[in-house]
Structure 1
Amino acid sequence: MSYDQAQRLRERLKSLKTEAKSVAVMSGKGGVGKSNFSLNFSLALQQEKKRVLLFDLDIGMGNIDILIGESSAYSIVDFFNQDMLLSEIISTGPNGLDYISGGTGLGIIFSMDEEKFQRFLQQLGLLFKLYDYIVFDMGAGISEDSLRFLLSVDEIIVITTPEPTSMTDAYAAIKNVCVNNRTIPFTIVVNRAFNKKVGETTYKRLEQTINQFLKREVSLLGTIPDDSTIMKAVIDQKPFILFQPGCQASKALKMISQNYLEKKNTMGKIQEEASFISKLKHFFMKGR
């Protein structure tokens, strides 16, 4: 991000009073299309006139850069190693989407000293005033560090496919979070469904298992068909929602984003919860 861009961000802070919603996108295993969903979902929210920041926390993979065919100038690692501002490491992706490239940042965040961590929280808090949504693309599975992030967000979107191993791993990941937080909302996205019926059946099986053994309610955010356009877009290194807006996968993704925003509007204000920043600070201090 250039100096002028950083300056414009600081100027926006003076007039904005909103607090971004934090959304983590996770999966139980790799290879289910989690990062691709995170990217296209963020773009879909942006198309709905929402201010979105995509934060790549898929450790060591740099999937967002790969999916858009670009190499970001900076990553979260530079924030710590070069004493940069978080606003300065934001890259601009397709359609002007703001994103922070990953790398090996998550482990660094929780191994730093308290002074550096407080600086990170302060900088991240400023970003939460700039956007409507901050989407965290988590690594596959759950580590001790990623669990702290997951327990701090407002909600979690779980990506699975109809494959039994994917469903089993998704359940295990949800269970891992539920053991530590009984109230955090989960929604399910079934990716690579051969048809709508397969997608809904996959969700129902997972939902019944979660309800029976974890005593938790989860909802279906939507299904994405097994569309060959997605692979073509990946090879071309373009988000499929921009590569071919009229394909079945793009239509499904747009419907998912609309359903997501409609649920937000109809849920109303249930209760005030601690902010992402305060919860993350709590888990950092707890681990000292």
Structure 2
Amino acid sequence: MKDQAESLRIKLQQKRSSTNHTTSIAVISGKGGVGKSNLSLNFALSLKQQGKSVLLFDMDIGMGNIDILMGVTSQHTVVDMLDNQLPINEIIQEGSNGLAYISGGSGLSSIFTMEFEKIDRFFEQLQLVLPQYEYVIFDMGAGMTNESLQFLIAMDEIFIVTTPEPTSITDAYAAMKYIYSFNNTIPYYLVVNRAQSENEGKQTLQRLSNVVSRFLNKETIQLGILPDDKTVSKAVSHQTPYILYSPKSMISRAIESLTSRYLENTPYNEGLEMRYSFITKLKRLIER
């Protein structure tokens, strides 16, 4: 085991010089059932409609549903890359509107507990493909695990999805607090989903922002409000992303506005520590 660790450490040091300009975004929620995967998918498609190159990575441990929301059948998952030695380009598939995506798998939870060779392979393969995209969006599983934390604290940005329900707000804050205790420099983008009105959405955003500011001394970015629109459930029933199912619906217009706001106001944290590439940060964490 010691020899394997030393071998991996040497390989990581050799690769440290490589960088890319890909922005890595994790989409999380404190609890399930808040519409996180739908946001990840439709935001990715909205970015693509605005001419951005995007890869959507389903990281929902054992319960990935991105392919179901698109009505496609995935031939391969990330587990095939790790267990069957498939190159990452063979597990990247094409979904709705040509969106590139990687399907999750039931073995995904063991990425950071498996043998060093597989961890190394995961990094190698991910590094090969990241430079091909401007944005890589990781749709994370609900809640926090030690495995998902390894990814989250290496991200460039984190989207936190909540609903106006008090329990959802509390869980969202708990997730941010947990991540903050390991990395306090990652920008937090707040999204309120299923708001009954714009006013309710604004109050929820402000309430959550105030709590984070008061107890963590950290400012957040209030990214947007998504309405409680029946179009979403209809689109899910038809296994079509709502931005494609009903482009003129309230929810579709809201996700487009959210995307435009994100592209126009993405912050550069000049006063914080140097922004390492996503892969470099992951390697540094594993090397500890």
Tell me the TM-score normalized by structure 1: 0.90
SS in 1 for 2:274: coil
SS of aligned partner of 1:128: helix
Do 1:20 and 1:132's aligned partners in 2 also have CA atoms closer than 8 Å? yes
Cα offset, 1:81, TM superposition: 1.3
Q: Quick one: which amino acid aligns to residue 96 of structure 1?
A: G
Give the 5 Å matches for 1:145-164: 145-164=147-166
Between the aligned partners of 1:259 and 1:242, the Cα distance in structure 2 is 20
Separation of aligned partners in 1, 2:63 and 2:117: 28
1:47 aligned to which of 27, 49, 67:
49
2:34 aligned with 1:32: yes
Residues 1:220 and 2:225 aligned together: no
Of 187, 201, 210, the match for 1:208: 210
Identity between Structure 1 and Structure 2 (%): 50
Provide the C-alpha distance between the structure 1 equivalents of 2:159 and 2:274, rounded to a whole number of angstroms: 21
Q: Please name the residue that 1:5 is paired with.
A: none
Give the conservation status (yes or no) of the 8 Å contact 2:42–2:255.
yes
Say whether 1:126 aligns with 2:136. Answer: no
Q: How does 1:1-288 map to 2 (within 5 A)?
A: 19-264=21-266, 267-268=267-268, 270=270, 272-286=274-288
Deviation at 1:29, TM superposition (A): 0.2
What is the CA-CA distance between 1:105 and the residue it aligns to?
Answer: 4.3
1:7 aligned residue:
none
Q: SS in structure 2 opposite 1:31? A: coil
Contact 1:59 1:103 in 2 (8 A): yes
Q: CA deviation at 1:115?
A: 2.5
Q: Which moved more, 1:268-277 or 1:226-235?
A: 268-277
Q: Secondary structure at the match of 1:25?
A: strand
CA contact (8 A) 2:20 2:277 kept: no
Listed one character per residue, the Cα deviations across residues 188-215 of structure 1 (whole Å, up to 9, x for unaligned) are 0000001111000001111111111111
Q: Deviations over 1:246-286 (max 9, x none)?
A: 0000000000111111013xx45726322111111222233
In structure 2, what is the equivalent of residue 11 of structure 1?
A: none
TM-score for the superposition, normalised by structure 2: 0.90
Matches of 2:202 and 2:187, distance apart in 1: 19
Q: How big is the shift at 1:159?
A: 0.2
Aligned partners of 2:255, 2:107: CA distance in 1, in Å?
Answer: 29
Figure out how many residues of one structure are paired with residues of the other and give that number.
Answer: 268
Contact map agreement 2:36 2:161 (CA 8 A) in 1: yes
Show the counterpart of 2:11: none
Give yes or no for contact 1:167–1:206 (8 Å, CA) kept in 2.
yes
Measure how far apart 1:18 and its partner are.
5.3
What SS does structure 2 have at the residue aligned with 1:175? helix
Q: Which moved more, 1:119-128 or 1:201-210?
A: 119-128
Query: What RMSD in Å do the two structures reach over aligned CA positions?
Result: 1.3
Q: 2:287 and 2:20 mapped to 1: Cα distance?
A: 26
1:59 partner amino acid: I
Secondary structure of 1:136's aligned partner: strand
Give the AA of the match of 1:70.
V
Aligned equivalents of 2:121 and 2:213: distance in 1?
A: 40
Inter-CA distance 165–79: structure 2 relative to 1 (3 Å threshold): same
CA contact (8 A) 2:82 2:121 kept: no
Is contact 2:62–2:109 with CA below 8 Å preserved after alignment? no
What letter corresponds to residue 249 of structure 2 in structure 1? C
Q: 1:20 to 1:111 in 2, by over 3 A?
A: same
